[in-house]
Amino acid sequence: MSRVISTGSEWTFELIERYDREIARVAADYRLDTYRNQLEIISAEQMMDAYSSVGMPVGYAHWSFGKQFLAVENRYRRGQMGLAYEIVINSDPCIAYLMEENTMTMQALVIAHAAYGHNSFFKGNYLFRTWTNADAIIDYLLFARRYVQECERRHGEEAVELVLDSCHALMNHGVDAYRRPPRLSAEREAARQREREDYLQRQLNEIWRTVPRRTDTRRADAPERFPAEPQENLLYFVEKHAPLLEPWQRELVRIVRKIAQYFYPQRQTQVMNEGWATFWHYTLLNTLYDQGYLSDGFMIEFLQSHTNVVAQPSFQSPYYRGINPYALGFAMMRDIRRICEAPDDEDRHWFPEIAGRDWVGVVDFAMRNFKDESFVSQYLSPRLIRELKLFAILDDEARAELEVTAIHDERGYRQVRRALADQYNLGSQQPDIQVWSVDRRGDRSLTLRHNRYRNRPLDDSAEEVVRHLARLWGFEVRLEEVDDEGRVRKVRQCDPPR
């Protein structure tokens, strides 16, 4: 009797269940550890909704999501874009969306990719473990939406929108990169909110008390710096120390900050996360095929869309959009497996610690303990550099021409690997901006410092962001750009809007 699960392209709930059961069985054989799964069947319109709320299953209302929606809808209508066939939410249970228009093959692909690939990554990777609480996020988002609604009712949509706009502008600077955040809990969040409001206000009054009660001689001769150390979490600093914000405004800042933190790991693990999920849908479905559960027709459809996903156009192609994280991540994961299973001398030289080891354990270790930057610098092999024909280009504004600094040859491997890893370093993508000082005694102005990375200046939109920050801070805000040698190169400043 044939074990083939299905041959047609139509899906049914029974078939989805059967595929899911078989995929789960194979995934367990490979020791994939996942959260529980929740597969949700949705329509194309709902997919567009999910799309435009940047992957939050529940979100507060904001025009920027509307803009996102219009853009998605328009591109979809004009046929410029197929909808991504999967969106998966880092939550427990892990929610994966299956679009009703998909064929059975695509549904199975999405289940393998999202519900077992991404899911196990969410559960295993150290960044996600540290920065996100999968079991609490949905509740927190619900709490956030209700709170924003409540604020809109009490203070008007306009007022709320102003605060949210400003927070969104600073969203990427709302995370402490080196401190583990406390766990999320919507309940506690709501219960303690009132308490916190009062407390915050009291604390603020303390900080901003300008008339000294006691004459303290120590203060006069050595004015304390505030903050004592530069602060990288701008939103946190605003939430705790902005002099004029109302308690509800602070709470909104906090909400945006918490959501930013939830997305923080995703920005740093794109290659790994997609590579991992792609590697596993490929491995799981191939295993099922080898076991006789999948038909040839299924595999051909699957391979076709898999190939599209991992296509990497060369830099000269009109379709080139930079390195495709799916392609790079998938290639690296497979390469690791190859190094484990069939290492050659070069691999033994470069990767003595994994060559010949059990590949399932090795990829699992890699998934758990790295982010894109470290993953590339640890595992990108010379052979893969050759296969992808990677080369590095240096663009230095001081020089008239670009320079090819390294290519896929013996002398260039390390250089290419270092350059590629650096490309995924959050520090190179995102400007390093910190709270430098606050003039507590004088005009209460806030000074930020941007330490230029490789002397790269800020884009002009920084002006606009400073304006947003000034709105939250309530007093003048200055942004100083400091170059490699520590000299202040450019100062932007902005008074708060009247």
Partner 1 sequence: MSQIIDRRLNGKNKSAVNRQRFLRRYKAQIRKAASAAVSGRSITDATSGEKVNIPTRDIAEPTFHHGAGGRRETVHPGNTDFVAGDRIARPKGGGGGGSGRGDPSRDGTGEDEFVFELTRDEFLDCFFEDLELPNLVQREIKEMLSHRTVRAGYSRQGVPANINVVRTLRGALGRRIALRGPYRERLREVERELEELEDQGLGSSARAIELREEIRRLRTHIEAIPFIDDFDLRYNHRIRVPQPSTQAVMFCLMDVSGSMDEARKDIAKRFFILLYLFLLRSYERIDVVFVRHHVTAKEVDEHEFFYARETGGTVVSSALKLMDEIVRDRYPLSSWNIYAAQASDGENWGDDSTTCRELLTERILPLVQYYAYVEITPDRHQSLWAEYEAVAAEHEHFAMQEIASPADIFPVFRRLLARKPA
Residues 61-90 that bind partner 1 (CB under 8 A): 61-71, 73-74, 77
Among 341, 344, 403, 495, interactor with partner 1 by CB under 8 A: 403
Scanning residues 295 to 314, which ones bind partner 1 (CB under 8 A)? 312-314
Q: Is 226 in the site for partner 1 (CB under 8 A)?
A: no
Report CA 222 to chain centroid distance, whole Å. 42
Burial label, 190 (beta-carbon count in 10 A; 0-12, 13-18, 19+): middle
Scanning residues 165 to 184, which ones bind partner 1 (CB under 8 A)? 165, 168-173
Q: Whose Cβ is closer to partner 1: residue 12's or residue 205's? A: 12
* Strand ranges inside 70-155, DSSP E: 87-89, 94-99
Scanning residues 103 to 142, which ones bind partner 1 (CB under 8 A)? 111, 115
Say if residues 372 and 328 touch (Cβ distance below 8 Å): no
Q: Which residues contact 379 (CB under 8 A, 6 or more apart)?
A: 332, 335, 336, 351, 366, 370
Q: Is 318 in the site for partner 1 (CB under 8 A)?
A: yes
- As a dihedral over the C-alpha atoms of residue 93, residue 99, residue 100, residue 106, rounded to 10 degrees, the angle is -100
Interatomic CA distance for residues 164 and 178, integer angstroms = 25
Size of residue set near partner 1 by CB under 8 A: 108
Q: Is 46 in the site for partner 1 (CB under 8 A)?
A: yes
Stretch of residues binding partner 1 (CB under 8 A), selected from 13-21, 186-194, 201-209, 354-362: 13-21
Q: Is 342 in the site for partner 1 (CB under 8 A)?
A: no
Q: Is 199 in the site for partner 1 (CB under 8 A)?
A: no
Interatomic CA distance for residues 380 and 335, integer angstroms = 8
Closest CA to 454 of 485, 478, 412: 485
Stretch of residues binding partner 1 (CB under 8 A), selected from 200-208, 217-225, 349-357, 408-416: 408-416
For the CB of residue 184, give the shortest distance to partner 1 in the complex, in Å.
23
Buried b / exposed e over 8-24, threshold 16 CB at 10 Å, is eeebeeebbeebbebbb
Q: Is 33 in the site for partner 1 (CB under 8 A)?
A: no
Among 407, 426, 445, 476, interactor with partner 1 by CB under 8 A: 407
Among 25, 453, 476, 493, interactor with partner 1 by CB under 8 A: 453
Q: Is 353 in the site for partner 1 (CB under 8 A)?
A: no
For the CB of residue 483, give the shortest distance to partner 1 in the complex, in Å.
9
For the CB of residue 380, give the shortest distance to partner 1 in the complex, in Å.
10
Q: Whose Cβ is closer to partner 1: residue 323's or residue 356's? A: 323
Among 213, 454, 487, 498, interactor with partner 1 by CB under 8 A: 454
Stretch of residues binding partner 1 (CB under 8 A), selected from 215-223, 244-252, 272-280, 425-433: 425-433
Q: Is 10 in the site for partner 1 (CB under 8 A)?
A: no
Q: Is 101 in the site for partner 1 (CB under 8 A)?
A: no
- The tokens for 290 are 């080898």
Q: How far is CA 488 from CA 181, 231, 481, 483, 495, in A?
A: 32, 18, 6, 7, 20
For the CB of residue 418, give the shortest distance to partner 1 in the complex, in Å.
9
Pairing of strands 432-438, 477-482: unpaired
Q: Is 459 in the site for partner 1 (CB under 8 A)?
A: yes
Q: Whose Cβ is closer to partner 1: residue 107's or residue 125's? A: 107
Asked, as a colleague might, if the bond just before 93 is cis with ω within 30 of 0, I would say yes
Q: Is 430 in the site for partner 1 (CB under 8 A)?
A: yes
Q: Whose Cβ is closer to partner 1: residue 69's or residue 126's? A: 69
Q: Please state whether 230 falls in left (phi above 0), alpha (psi between -120 and 50) or beta.
A: beta
Q: Whose Cβ is closer to partner 1: residue 21's or residue 31's? A: 21
Q: Is 365 in the site for partner 1 (CB under 8 A)?
A: no
The one-letter amino acid at 64: S
Task: Reduce the DSSP state of residue 306 to 3 states and report it.
Answer: helix
Q: Is 422 in the site for partner 1 (CB under 8 A)?
A: yes
Closest CA to 133 of 184, 97, 176: 184
